[in-house]
């Protein structure tokens, strides 16, 4: 493995952003291997792709001598799809933190997380509060570089379109033009742009904690 070659771990590869991010990673020559963790295998096939079917509630111990250079997390659900607040927290907080902890145990120095606009540990909304608490937890694990993406509503073709999403995806890009200045963080944004920024961010080495909203994501991608 050359000095610039990267071993990247990805969680959430069967979701909208995660699936696009996987393709972005495999399109980069500096990525030597992508380790995908999850319950379902992505539809993409590539010699550099290694699938590990796991339960995030009971991740396996670190493999001896395995180095993960960067970890990317696109895990996420909705309270409606999860069925309860507890089930939502199990995915959007517990699974995310478990994956980040697993990555750090493999000497990973860079972690990239897809969160949500408005995320805050002090938010009144349960959804946004969990997102904020998750961000805070990840930042305590000792990564050299943490990049948190807080996109607005994601635009893209989902495998299972939820009721009203087709209408929302048509209306939101137009309505978003009314959101000016700092309000542009609430605009809809293409999932492919988020995925590109996510992949690119994982391969950079600048240390620090970075929180990106729509404007930052677009500029970086």
Catalytic residues: 127, 131
Half-sphere exposure of 206 (CA within 13 A, CB side): 5
132, 128, 136: which is closest to 100 by C-alpha?
Answer: 136
Cβ(77)–Cβ(134) under 8 Å? no
Please count the other Cβ atoms lying within 10 Å of the Cβ belonging to residue 17.
Answer: 23
Task: Compute the distance between CA of residue 21 and CA of residue 113 in angstroms, rounded to an integer.
Answer: 12
Buried b (16+ CB within 10 A) or exposed e, 98-119: bbbebbbebebbbbbbbbbbbb
How far apart are the C-alpha atoms of 41 and 124, rounded to whole Å?
36
Strands of the chain (E only): list them: 6-11, 31-38, 49-53, 70-73, 110-114, 145-149, 154-155, 189-190, 208-212
The tokens describing 24, both together, are 């972005």
């Amino acid at each position: 493995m050359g000095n610039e070659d990267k071993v990247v771990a990805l969680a959430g590869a069967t979701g909208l952003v995660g699936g696009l991010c996987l393709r972005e990673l495999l399109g980069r020559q500096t990525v030597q291997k992508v380790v995908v963790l999850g319950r379902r295998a992505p539809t993409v096939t590539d010699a550099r792709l290694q699938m590990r079917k796991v339960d995030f509630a009971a991740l396996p111990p670190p493999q001896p001598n395995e180095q993960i250079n960067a970890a990317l997390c696109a895990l996420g659900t909705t309270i409606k799809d999860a069925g309860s607040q507890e089930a939502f927290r199990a995915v959007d907080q517990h699974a995310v933190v478990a994956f980040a902890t697993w990555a750090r145990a493999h000497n990973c120095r860079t972690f990239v997380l897809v969160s949500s606009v408005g995320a805050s540990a002090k938010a009144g909304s349960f959804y946004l509060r969990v997102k904020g608490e998750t961000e805070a937890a990840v930042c305590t694990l000792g990564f050299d570089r943490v990049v948190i993406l807080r996109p607005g509503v994601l635009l893209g073709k989902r495998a299972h379109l939820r009721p009203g999403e087709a209408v929302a995806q048509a209306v939101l890009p137009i309505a978003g033009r009314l959101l000016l200045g700092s309000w542009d963080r609430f605009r809809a944004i293409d999932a492919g742009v988020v995925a590109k920024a996510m992949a690119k961010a994982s391969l950079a080495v600048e240390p620090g904690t970075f929180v990106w909203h729509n404007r930052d994501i677009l500029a970086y991608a």
